[in-house]
Amino acid sequence: MRKRKAQRTNLSIMKGVIAMALIVLLVCYLFLTMVSCTDGGPRVHVSGSITDAEDSTLVLEEMTLNGVQPVDSVRLKADGRFVLSAPVDTCSAPEFYRLRIAQQVINFVIDSLEEITVETSLKRMASDYDIQGNDASRTMKTITLLNQQLQQQLSRLYQDSTLSLLLKEERAREIVEAYKTRLKRDIILKDPSSPAAYFALFQSFGPQMLFNPESDKSDVQYFAAVATQWEARYPGALRTENLRNIALRGLRNTRPARPVEIQIDGDKVRETGIIDFGFPDLNGRERRLSDFGDKVLLLDFTSYALPQAQERILLLRDLYEKYHSRGLEIYQVSLDGDEHFWKTKSEQLPWVCVHCAEGVNNDMVQLYGIQHLPAFFLIGRGSMLKARDEQIPDLPRAIEAEL
């Protein structure tokens, strides 16, 4: 009798221990889940080797929506071995990173707690590397190599002295379109919810984005497809919201244009000065036209995704370097749909760069009668509008007259 009673007692104790262990495991799981969704969460390791790179500094950078952010770095020794770490939030969307030595970069994505390994040589770091850890990073490598091939094809094309400029531009469009078609077919449509599809949407060649989410109806549809899938897979994530906003702006922009009810001509504005407005700069600070009342101001509406964007930047840089010390300021309004793309392209520019998140649908953009990009206005001292681009045959001479 006492033996059976002791057995029942031992069984009750064992049940209690098991129950307590399950409670502890549950608490640990909930704690780890909460921690993984915060800045103090786990970190994933990125390791491997880069030969022929002794004494070079290898930097691990996160490609955030607010620009490139250094995460970790190491000075490589003779064997090139390295171990770096990056934060990973398992409760959010995938995040994009890159390894960089000087101008050589390797792009990859972190989607969970997987380990990322990279093996390469500094001599061929950006084009010939082995990356392990997830399929999306390997697909991103394929996209990068295709992009490099595109750049090489375009470079050879424009160096061909036997072709006319018109023929070069026609063939360049064909080459770019073939690359876009391959990305659409083999990457984006294959799995719109993947990080590789997101990465493909934001490819560029030179200063120009490959896809135009602002005014190309076909391209907008691919942004919308990826945005829809990310909404389902990563609801509430910042990258999901960014994609959705880009897609919605593109869909609005490609609808039949509504008539502009208010037009401003040069004579009317000369009588009343300028219509003041402000947009945020790279630091989120609102910059208003009226802040430059004692300066000669070049108000420039543009998109860094335009084919002629690089030439435009070179022209403005030349004007700025020549006249800034004498009182010229440039206030450049980007109408690009992707804020991250705008920040990346404008962060090294010396003048005031602001971003209009609504694009061409913004009331002030409409009010200034912007019918094409780029479009600019010359504003004299005292905030008096002098002329718009169509009225200025010689911009340097017009600036000289106001200084």
* Strand residues in 22-165 grouped as ranges (E): 43-51, 57-64, 67-75, 81-87, 95-101, 104-110, 116-121, 129-132
Q: Which pLDDT value is given to residue 207?
A: 67
C-alpha distances in Å from residue 317, one per residue of 145, 287, 332:
32, 20, 12
In DSSP notation, 149-209 reads HHHHHHHHHHH-TTS-HHHHHHHHHHHHHHHHHHHIIIIITT-TTSHHHHHHHT-EETTEE
Q: Which pLDDT value is given to residue 332?
A: 94
> What stretches in the chain show pLDDT beneath 50?
3, 6, 17, 21-39, 257-272
Burial class (CB in 10 A: 0-12, 13-18, 19+), 236: exposed
Q: What's the CA gap between 7 and 13, in Å, rounded?
A: 10
Q: Which pLDDT value is given to residue 18?
A: 52
The predicted model scores a pTM of: 0.58
Cis peptide before 213 (omega within 30 of 0): no
85-94 pLDDT, tens digit per residue, is 888 776 678 8
Q: Which pLDDT value is given to residue 60?
A: 94
Residue 323 neighbours by CB under 8 Å, 6+ apart: 296, 399, 400, 403
Q: Which pLDDT value is given to residue 117?
A: 94
Q: Which pLDDT value is given to residue 24?
A: 43
Q: What's the CA gap between 37 and 95, in Å, rounded?
A: 13
Q: What's the CA gap between 153 and 243, in Å, rounded?
A: 30
Q: What's the CA gap between 140 and 94, in Å, rounded?
A: 13
Please name each of the domains of the chain with its CATH number: 43-133 (2.60.40.180), 145-253 (no CATH), 266-402 (3.40.30.10)
Q: Which pLDDT value is given to residue 168?
A: 82
* Nearest residue to 100 (alpha-carbon basis) of 132, 61, 64: 61
Q: Which pLDDT value is given to residue 84?
A: 94
Q: Which pLDDT value is given to residue 273?
A: 52
Q: What's the CA gap between 351 and 280, in Å, rounded?
A: 14
Contact 100, 59 (CB under 8 A): yes
Provide the b/e sequence for 285-319 (b: ≥16 CB within 10 Å).
eebebebbeebbbbbbbbbbbbeebeebbeebeeb
Q: Which pLDDT value is given to residue 158?
A: 83
Tokens of 330: 């440039």
Burial class (CB in 10 A: 0-12, 13-18, 19+), 106: buried
